[in-house]
Amino acid sequence: MSKLFEETTIKNLALKNRLVRSATWEGMCDDSGRPTEKLITCYRNLAQGGVGLIISGYTFVRLEGKQMPGKMGIHTDDFASDMKSLTDAVHEVGGKVCIQLVHAGGQTNSKYAGRQPLAPSAVQVEQFPEVPQEMSAQDIQEVIAAFRDAATRAKDSGFDAVQLHGAHGYLINQFLSPLTNRRSDEYGGTIENRCRYHAVRKAVGHDYPVMVKLNGADFVDGGLTTEDAVYAARALDKAGIDAIEVSGGTPASGKESPVRTGIKTEEQEVYNRAPGKAIKDAVKCPVMLVGGIRSFDIAEKLIVDGTADYISLSRPFIREPDLPSRWQSGDHSKATCISCNACFKPGLKGIGIYCVAKEKEEAAVKKL
């Protein structure tokens, strides 16, 4: 039997296989952050496609932490029934769903945040137009409380777990990175002072899975190194985090961004392999690995050789939500995603993401 399709548990969460749909911005919520029927259908399709765990698109915990249009919010109790409809839709078809919690920090603008962006230090983030305001100690405590309250709402709404987004240059990553955290108080300086996660665990209890997405490296000069990431991972593991998903890069990382294009060969796959293995070797908790994985044989080998415990995919599931079922049926051909990133453009237009390449291919066939 394939190792990918073994049943496993994270904390007390039973998963039917080791395939994870990594958090993906879908652009399918209304302007307030409320989930829509389109998003619920998307998640139902993913669950029916056989993935072991769905991790939601990044979900803002405070209004000023919003970054993109169509992004989901859990900053208010007002969406409770909508969130419950989403989790019910997944559970009704045998799926499991985790919510990813995020604050964009300096990686946003006043259009979406409704104010000058907040960040650990007043350091402008590349590709974002505004210099953020340095957070006061009170600001930090309010954001910590927002993560805590969001986790409580998520648990009450039926999500099976929560994941804190500590990667890709968002607020938690900004605190961890010496490039964006230049504070001299207890929230800055050494990696010890840059690594603090406790409020969410206290809010949801010790029996509920709490995970973290962590950059194995920022791939930018002066940013988080793999050495620092390993230290942070060990600290999280010791604190009782239930799983770590390893990614890498920020919008400032150029060709080493979190969503690299042009993945055509096996050599181009698994671009976070080295930092992922370093973190896997340093912790006892399960490790998920994301980043350009497209081939069944490569995914299987990553599990067999101990590089990761779970395989996370994002863009392949946009084109093939039923990829897990296909692989489990014995069709082990490579995911058909061509890694062009055109799928995200419809989300910016308010339509929601979908595979544009597949649409073009199908249209071309109809013309024949």
Catalytic residues: 170
Cα–Cα distance measured from residue 271 to residue 5, given in angstroms and rounded to the nearest whole number: 23
The closest alpha carbon to 10, from 205, 155, 214, 161, belongs to: 161
Q: Does residue 270 contact residue 312 with C-beta atoms inside 8 Å?
A: no
The closest alpha carbon to 187, from 146, 247, 143, belongs to: 143
Cα–Cα distance measured from residue 195 to residue 172, given in angstroms and rounded to the nearest whole number: 9
Cα–Cα distance measured from residue 101 to residue 78, given in angstroms and rounded to the nearest whole number: 17
Q: What is the DSSP string of 131-151?
A: PPEEPPHHHHHHHHHHHHHHH
Cα–Cα distance measured from residue 250 to residue 255, given in angstroms and rounded to the nearest whole number: 10
Both tokens of 260, joined, read 């690299």
Both tokens of 22, joined, read 């990594």
As to burial, measured by CB atoms within 10 angstroms (0-12 exposed, 13-18 middle, 19+ buried), residue 202 is exposed
Q: What ranges in the chain are assigned the alpha helix state H? A: 37-48, 80-92, 110-113, 137-156, 171-176, 191-194, 199-204, 226-239, 273-282, 296-304, 315-319, 323-328, 345-348, 356-367
